[in-house]
Amino acid sequence: MKITWPSLGTISSITGRWIPGTTHSVTVLCDIQPASGAYLRKSDGATLEYSWKVFADPFDEASSVPENATLTFFSVEHVLVQLFEYQKHVELKCRD
């Protein structure tokens, strides 16, 4: 599976000009399971449906992957809804 997300741009402290962000990408081996009809309640009270649960070994970039990152598997792009890091694995929930 490939995970892709943009980094935010910044303003140069030297020139004062906008420097656009770059796209980060990481490829991880994982176990992908369908989660038909599963829902997740966000901290703001919103309820989101997700259709896939992904389990992967911990990877260095896990803590910097934002919600709404793009996960590509089965040749289709999916949107990350939640990422939770456990001690021995990472669990990602995503939707089509």
CATH number at residue 11: 2.40.10
What are the pLDDT digits (tens) for 8-40?
777 777 887 777 777 888 899 999 999 988 999
Q: What is the pTM of this model?
A: 0.79
For residue 72, the model assigns a pLDDT of: 93
What are the pLDDT digits (tens) for 1-16?
888 887 777 777 788 7
Label residue 94 by pLDDT band (50, 70, 90). very high
For residue 79, the model assigns a pLDDT of: 93
Which CA distances in Å does 28 have to 12, 53, 60? 33, 14, 11
Closest to 2 in 3D by CA, of 62, 59, 70, 91: 70
User: CA-to-CA distance for 48 and 61, rounded, in angstroms?
Assistant: 24
For residue 70, the model assigns a pLDDT of: 93
What is the residue range of 27's domain?
A: 2-95
Number of structural domains (the chain) is: 1
The neighbouring-strand residues paired with 53 are 33, 93
